[in-house]
C-alpha cells in the first residue's frame, strides 16, 4: 500500500533543519519513499490530510520501565523510596501478567503522545517485548539483571539466562531489538557486569544501566577514589555498547572519557528533578559530541510517559542552572527528542524525515488553544504542545493513532485488563500505606 500524508508543515530534522511548509510524504513498505512541496502525487492508495499540522519524526524514549504503571502516584514525595518500598513490593507482588498488561497500557500511552520507539528495562521482558510488538511500538527491551532476589529471577544468573533467550527469540526482528540491562553500578557485582558486557558484545547490542544517579552511589565510589564511569571503564564497559542512564553527577573527566570511548547517554530531566537529585551537565555532554536522548524513566519515577514534559523540563532546568536563556534553543531540544534519541540507540535509519528512512512519524495538530499563533514550530512543540495535541502517529508505515485515538485497540479496554490483575498487588501495597 502507498500512503500519502499531505498538507503538512514538515520538520525533517536533517542537518540543516529543513522545513517544508506545505509538504507531503509518501510511505511504502514501511519507509518514506518520497517527499516534496506543493502538488502531491495522485497515485496513493490512502490519503491523509494533515490540515497544516507539524509532521516530524517520531519521538524516541531512550529509557523507561514501562510496565510500572501500577506504581504510578505511589510515594511521589517519599525519600529513598527505591529501597523503602519499591524493591520490597516488587519482590512480593510483581507478576508476569502485570509486566505484560502494564507494558500494553504504557505502549498505548507512549503512542498517544507521539513516541514511536522506546528503550525499556524491567522484569519479564519477554512478555514486555510481546506487548510492544502487538501494539506496534518499536522497542529495545532488556531484562533487568540485579544481584538480589527479583521478579522472575532469584539470582542474577537467571536474569542473564532470560536475557540470552530474549536476544535469541527476537534476533533480526524488525520491531524488537533486545538489549542487556544490568540495574546499576552498585546493585550488580563486577563479575555480573562483565558477563553482561560479554553478551552485549556477542550479540552486538546495547548495554544500559543507571549510573551517576544516586548520592550514595557517588559516595561509595568516591571512597574508592573512583567515579561510577571510571569504574565501568575499568571493567571494560565504557564503550560504544554503553547507554548510561541519568548521568546527573558526571565529572568533566567522565564526560571526556565517555566521548573518547563512544558511549551514549539517556538523560531523564523529569524524574531527576522530581526526586531532587540534580540537573545533569548536558551542556558539556553536548559540547563533547556524545550521542544522547531523553528518557521518561518509569511511570513511577516520572509519572508520565511522554516527551513533551521532558522537553519542557529539560529546557527550564538547563537554562536555570546555567543561567543562560539562549542555551538549548527549541529546535535543538526537538532534535534531541527525535534524532538524538535515535542516535543514542544506534539507529541509523530513523530520527529524520528522509527518503529511505523508517516511516515512524508524529503529527501534532495546531488546533489546540496553546498552539496559536505559531511563529516558531519548535518553540510551539517545546513550550506549548502536549500529548493531547498529537493527532496522528505512524510506526513502520502503519497508522497507530488517528485523530488522537488508537486505531487498533481501546485504551479503556487496556486499562480494564490491567486493573483485573492488580488486586493482589494493591493488597500487598497496603502495608506501605503510611509512606505511599
- Cα angle at 218 between 212 and 220, to 5 degrees? 130
Inter-CA distances, 94 with 18, 160, 301, 427, Å: 47, 19, 17, 12
Give the pLDDT band of residue 435 (cuts 50, 70, 90): confident
Mean pLDDT over 37-59 rounds to 96
Q: What is the 3-state secondary structure (H, E, C) of the chain?
A: CEEEEEEEEEECCCCCCCEEEEEEEEEECCEEEEEEECCCCCCCCEEEECCCCEEEECEEEEEECHHHHHHCCCCCCCCCHHHHHHHHHHHHHCCHHHHHHHHHHHHHHHHHCCEEEEEEEECCHHHHHHHHHHHCCEEEEEEEECCCCECCECCHHHHHHHHHHHHHHCCCCCCECCCEEECECCCCCHHHHHHHHHHHHHCCCCEEEEECCCHHHHHHHHCCCCCHHHHHHHCCCCCCCEEEEECCCCCHHHHHHHHHHCCEEEECHHHHHHCCCCCCCHHHHHHHCCCEEECCCCCCCCCCCCHHHHHHHHHHHHHHHHCCCCCCCHHHHHHHHHHHHHHHCCCCCCCCCCCCCECCEEEECCCCCCCCCCCCHHHHHHHHCCHHHEEEEEECCEEEEECCEECCCCHHHHHHHHHHCCHHHHHHHHHHCCCC
Say what the pLDDT of residue 417 is. Answer: 98
For the full predicted model, state whether its pTM sits above 0.85: yes
At 253-307, the pLDDT tens digits run 999 999 999 999 999 999 999 999 999 999 999 999 999 999 999 999 999 999 9
**Is the distance from CB of 313 to CB of 271 less than 8 angstroms?**
no
Residue with cell 524491567: 122
**Is the distance from CB of 170 to CB of 125 less than 8 angstroms?**
no
pLDDT at residue 330 tops 90: yes
At 345-392, the pLDDT tens digits run 999 999 999 999 999 999 999 999 999 999 999 999 999 999 999 999
At 123-154, the pLDDT tens digits run 999 999 999 999 999 999 999 999 999 999 99
The three cell numbers locating residue 363: 503529527
Question: What structural domains and CATH numbers belong to the chain?
Answer: 2-57+353-406 (2.30.40.10), 59-344 (3.20.20.140)
Amino acid at each position: 500500500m502507498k500512503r500519502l500524508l499531505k498538507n503538512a508543515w514538515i520538520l525533517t530534522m536533517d542537518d540543516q533543519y529543513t522545513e517544508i511548509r506545505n509538504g507531503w510524504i509518501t510511505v511504502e513498505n514501511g519507509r518514506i519513499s518520497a517527499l516534496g512541496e506543493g502538488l502531491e502525487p495522485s497515485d496513493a492508495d490512502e490519503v491523509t490530510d494533515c490540515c497544516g499540522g507539524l509532521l516530524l519524526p517520531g519521538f524516541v524514549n531512550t529509557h523507561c520501565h514501562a510496565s510500572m504503571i501500577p506504581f504510578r502516584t505511589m510515594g511521589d514525595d517519599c525519600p529513598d523510596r527505591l529501597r523503602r518500598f519499591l524493591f520490597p513490593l516488587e519482590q512480593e507482588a510483581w507478576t508476569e501478567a502485570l509486566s505484560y498488561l502494564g507494558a500494553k497500557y504504557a505502549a498505548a500511552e507512549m503512542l498517544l503522545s507521539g513516541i514511536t520507539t522506546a528503550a525499556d528495562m524491567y522484569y519479564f521482558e519477554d512478555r514486555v517485548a510481546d506487548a510492544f510488538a502487538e501494539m506496534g511500538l518499536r522497542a529495545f527491551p532488556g531484562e533487568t539483571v540485579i544481584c538480589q532476589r527479583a521478579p522472575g529471577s532469584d539470582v542474577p544468573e537467571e536474569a542473564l539466562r532470560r536475557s540470552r533467550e530474549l536476544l535469541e527469540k527476537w534476533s533480526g526482528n524488525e520491531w524488537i531489538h533486545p538489549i542487556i540491562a544490568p540495574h546499576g553500578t552498585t546493585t550488580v557485582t563486577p563479575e555480573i557486569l562483565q558477563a553482561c558486557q560479554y553478551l552485549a558484545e556477542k550479540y552486538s547490542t546495547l548495554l544500559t544501566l543507571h549510573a551517576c544517579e544516586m548520592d550514595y552511589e557517588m559516595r561509595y565510589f568516591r571512597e574508592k577514589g573512583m567515579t561510577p564511569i571510571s569504574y565501568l571503564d575499568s571493567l571494560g564497559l565504557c564503550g560504544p555498547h554503553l547507554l548510561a542512564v541519568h548521568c546527573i553527577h558526571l565529572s568533566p573527566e567522565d564526560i571526556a572519557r565517555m566521548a573518547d570511548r563512544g558511549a551514549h547517554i539517556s538523560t531523564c530531566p523529569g524524574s531527576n528533578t522530581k526526586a531532587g537529585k540534580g540537573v545533569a551537565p548536558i551542556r558539556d555532554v553536548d559540547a563533547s559530541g556524545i550521542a544522547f536522548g531523553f528518557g521518561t524513566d518509569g511511570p513511577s519515577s516520572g509519572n508520565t510517559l511522554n516527551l513533551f514534559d521532558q522537553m519542557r523540563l529539560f529546557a527550564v532546568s538547563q537554562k536555570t542552572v546555567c543561567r543562560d536563556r539562549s542555551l538549548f534553543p527549541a529546535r535543538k531540544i526537538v532534535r534531541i527528542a527525535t534524532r538524538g534519541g535515535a542516535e543514542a540507540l544506534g539507529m541509523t535509519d530513523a530520527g529524520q524525515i528522509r527518503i529511505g528512512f523508517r516511516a515512524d512519524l508524529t503529527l501534532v495538530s495546531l488546533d489546540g488553544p496553546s498552539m496559536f499563533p505559531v511563529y516558531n514550530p519548535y518553540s510551539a512543540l517545546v513550550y506549548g504542545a502536549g500529548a493531547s495535541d498529537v493527532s496522528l502517529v505512524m510506526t513502520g508505515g502503519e497508522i497507530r493513532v488517528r485523530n488522537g485515538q488508537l486505531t487498533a485497540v481501546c485504551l479503556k479496554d487496556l486499562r480494564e485488563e490491567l486493573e483485573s490483575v492488580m488486586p493482589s498487588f494493591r493488597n500487598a501495597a497496603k502495608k506501605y500505606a503510611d509512606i505511599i
